[in-house]
Amino acid sequence: MHTLDEIISISRKLCLEGGKIAMHHYGNLEKIMTKADNSPLTAADLAVDEIIVNGLNKAFPEIPIITEERAANHTVSHSTGRFFLIDPIDGTKEFINKSNEFTINIALIEDGTPVAGMVYAPALKRLFWGAKNLGAFEENSEGSADAISVRDTNSDALIVVASRSHLNAETEAFIEKNKVVSVKNAGSSLKFCLIAAGEADIYPRFGPTMEWDIAAGHAVLAAAGGVVHTIDGDPISYGQKHYKSPFFIARTASAKYF
């Protein structure tokens, strides 16, 4: 069985390659399509999806792959085994609006749990990865990697990170009833990584997401000492029917909230 080190190494290479393709389209955005759920789709989504899927299939042919763009044609059992969960461009709205906060995401799921994740924000030149028992890291544009970890949270002065595109009444109510000193707005899976890097404390999500939206960020945050759970405090299990995620809280281990 391939090690997590091997999987991280290949995933890093594919994320960087995908980032080059995404940035080419970023500066030359032409046709924007609409999927069945009315969400946007660009040529960049499809091109990055293809390079990641082809690369993973070549390196790890025995591991099934689920991607946002191909999920309708693939199913897996979450109860046992491994599979990759891919979002070639998370934050397509951010990509289209050129907010720089879109990310490329590769996660490895094992028995329903994300055990390794790679999150790359090519426009920001921020690359995060983490794996079970290996820790979490951020690589800078020069290629050197530094270990990252969640900060020791003061729950009387929480820094909340929230969705730039999907801020709703429930999130605003959460912010209102907790002791929040700052709210950072960010798009895509970058929110998990900001907590993992010690730049925020908690990310409440009271809106729809899909498993590929959050799996890689979940893995990075967990490797950095953070936690992700449903709003009732239960673990999130991946590989569910239709790949829909429950509402959740992502946070530092020491963050307290109401």
Alpha-carbon dihedral sign for residues 144, 150, 151, 152: negative
- 61 and 88 inside one domain: yes
| pLDDT: which is higher, 205 or 24 | 205
pLDDT in the model for residue 95: 79
Same domain for 198 and 241, yes or no, is yes
pLDDT of res. 142: 78
- In a 13 Å sphere around the CA of 18, the CA atoms on its Cβ side amount to 35
Within a domain: 84: yes
Q: Which two tokens stand for residue 256?
A: 């307290």
Whether residue 26 lies inside any domain: the answer is yes
Helix, coil or strand: residue 215: helix
Domain CATH number, residue 180: 3.40.190.80
| Residue 168 falls inside a structural domain | yes
Write the pLDDT tens digit of every residue in 170-214: 999 999 999 999 999 998 899 999 999 999 999 999 999 999 999
Q: Domains in the chain: how many in total? A: 2
Q: What is the pLDDT of residue 159?
A: 98
Does the model's pTM come out above 0.75? yes
Q: What is the pLDDT of residue 26?
A: 83
Supply the pLDDT for residue 115. 98
Phi, psi of 34 (to 5 degrees): -125, 130
Element (H, E) at 169: helix 169-177
d(CA 134, CA 77): 26
Same domain flag for 23 and 139: yes
**141-154 residues labelled b (16+ CB within 10 A) or e (exposed):** eeeeeeebbbbebe
Separation in Å, CA 183 to CA 7, 63, 161, 199: 34, 39, 6, 11
| Residues 38-67: tens digit of each pLDDT | 566 778 888 999 999 999 999 999 999 999
Assess whether 193 and 216 both reside in one domain: yes
At residue 30, does pLDDT exceed 70?
Answer: no
At 210-258, the pLDDT tens digits run: 999 999 999 999 999 999 999 999 999 999 988 999 999 999 999 999 9
pLDDT tens, position by position, 114-163:
999 999 999 999 999 999 999 999 998 778 899 999 999 999 999 999 98
Q: Are 143 and 167 members of one domain?
A: no
Confidence of residue 68 (pLDDT cuts 50, 70, 90): confident
Same domain, 144 and 178: no
Burial state string for 212-249 with b = 16 or more CB within 10 A and e = fewer than 16? bbbbbbbbbbbbbbbbbeeeeeeebebbeeebebeebb
Residue ranges with strand state E in 92-223: 103-110, 113-121, 126-131, 135-139, 145-148, 158-163, 180-186, 202-205, 209-210
CATH classification of the domain holding 141: 3.30.540.10
Claim to verify: residue 107 and residue 178 sit in the same structural domain: no
Q: How confident is the model at residue 81 (pLDDT cuts 50, 70, 90)?
A: confident
Residue ending a domain, among 148, 183, 204, is: 148
Distance between CA atoms of 188 and 163, rounded to whole angstroms? 7
Q: Is residue 153 part of a domain?
A: no
Distance from C-alpha of 106 to C-alpha of 244, rounded to nearest angstrom:
17
Lowest mean pLDDT among 4-8, 76-80, 120-124: 76-80
For residue 2, pLDDT beyond 80: yes
Q: Given this model, what pLDDT does residue 129 score? A: 98
121 and 216 both lie in a single domain: no
Is the domain of 100 the same as that of 185? no
Where do we find the tokens 């390079």?
Answer: 51
Give the gyration radius of the chain's Cα atoms: 17
Instruction: Note down the domain range covering 27.
Output: 4-148
**162 and 129 part of one domain:** no
